[in-house]
A and B are shown apart, each in its own frame.
Chain A
Amino acid sequence: MNFVPNTKKEREEMMDFLGISSITELFEDVDAGIRNKDDLKLPEPMSEIEIIDYLGELSSSNHNMQDFACFLGAGAYYHFIPSVVDHLLLRGEFYTSYTPYQAEMSQGMLQSIFEFQSMICELTGMDAANASMYDGASALSEAAILAAKYTEKKSIMISKAVHPEYRHVLKTYANAFGLKILETEMENGLSDIKDIKTKLNDSCACVIVQFPNFFGNIEELKEIGDLAHKNDSIFVTNVVEPISLGLLKPPGAFGADVVVGEAQALGNPLNYGGPHLGFMATKEEFLKKIPGRISGLTLDTSGERGFILTLQTREQHIRRERATSNICTNQALNALAATIYLAVMGKHGLKEAAEICYQRAHYASKKISDVKGFEMRFSVPFFNEFLIECPKSPKEINRTLLSKNILGGFEVGKYYEEMENCMLLCVTEMNTKSQIDELVNAIAEGLP
C-alpha cells in the first residue's frame, strides 16, 4: 500500500504533459553518485490485516492501565476521559487540519483554541495563555527563557521539589541558552523558603516552584511569590496535575506571573509519555513575550465576530531570529481534547473529580500509614500524591504488587538518593476503594 491514488495510466498522462518518459527524469538534479543504489532495507510491506495483527500483539506486550490498579503518577496521570472527548476529536475536520493560518476556513480550531486559552486562564488565574506547548517541561523552560529575556538576568532559581525530569530538560535548555540554574533545597517535602531567601540574588530572573509539587505537596506559594517579587524576579509556577486546580486556589491568586505546566491530566491519555500537553499562561504584561500560537478575537468585514492567529510578530515565521521562541508545530489536538474535557466536566465535574482524588488519596495514605513499617515521609498538606517511606526496597514491593495486578508507586530513589526507600503513590478517581484496600493488603502481606 502506498496511499497513492493515481493509476499507471494517470501517471503516464501526467508524464506526457510534462514531456518526460519516466519519473526518474524528474530526479536528474540528484547527482547519480549519491542516489540510492539499493532498495531500502526495510521489512516487507504489510496489509492492514497484517499490521493490525502485528501491532495488536506488540500492544498486548505492554502493560495497559485498564488491566491494573494503577497507583503510578509522578507527572503522567491515569484519569477518567469521558468518551465524548474522543468521539469529537476523531472528527476529520479537526485532526487532519493544520495550524489555522487561513482563519476563514479554520474557525473551528481558532475558536476552540480561544476557548482553551480562556479555560487555562481561568484554571490558573492568569490573563493570557497560548495555544499549547510541547509539554510541561518545555513550557517551564520557555518560561525561564522568557523571564531571562524580560529581566535581562541570567539565573534561574528552581526548587528541587519540581519534577526531576523537568529540571533535567530545563538544564539542557539552560546550557544552550547560556542560563545558570540555581536549585533550592526542600524541607519536609516543601520548597525550603529559608534556602530560597538565602540564595536569591540580583541575577535571579525567576523563581520556579511546582504546585502541587512533585511529591503532591501544596507549596506555600504566597510566601515564595512575595520573596520573588521583592527580589524583582518573576514568579513562575509549574502545575503538572491540573485536576488539583478544581480544589486549589489558582497560582495567579498568589501572585504568580507565569503559570506553566502539563495538562495531560485533562482529557489526554497516557500514551506511554506522549503526546501530552504543555501550556503557558501569564499576566497581561507578558502577553507579547509569550511563545507559540495565540488565537485572538476580531471582526470580519461584515462586522461579525471571528478568531484569528494574533500577535504573530512574536513568532518564528515572521520574526525569525528575533522570535520569542522557535516553536511552530505544537500540541493543538491535545489542547482540543483538554478543551472538550473541561467543557463536559464543567465547573462541577472538575471540582468533584478533584474532591474524589483528594478523598481517596487521603484514605489511602491513612490506611498505608497504619501498616507497620510504612510511614508518610512528610507531614504537610497534599493533594493526590504522597510519599511513603517503606520498610524495604520499593522495587521489591512493586514487584510483589505487580504480581497482583497492581502498579505501585514511583520509586523516587531514581532521582532523589536520600529517598531511596520511598515510593510516590498517586490516587485518582480511577482507583476504587477496593483497589486501595487491595493495595494496602498486598503491602501488608509482604511483610515479615
Chain B
Amino acid sequence: MSDMRINVLFFGATADIVGKRREELEVDGEVSAGSILDELRTRFPYLAAQKLHISIEQEYASSDSIVKAGDEIAIFTSVSGG
C-alpha cells in the first residue's frame, strides 16, 4: 500500500500540549488508531501523561479501529462540557 496522509486535530488540553490545533501525519498504508496515538506520544512526550480519547470521522474510536486515508482524526482528553 502507498503512503497516506492523515489530518489530526487537537482540542483543549491536547492543543495546548502540542502547541497547535492540527498536525499532518504520514503513515504507511492502513494504520490503527492506537498506532497513531503511539506516534503522537513519541512526538509530544507530554501527551503521554494524559488519558487520551481518539475519534475517527467524528465518531469515538478504540485503539484497534482502522484509520483510512483522508479520515479526520481528533485527539483529546476527557470532555468537560456542561
Bound pair (A, B): no
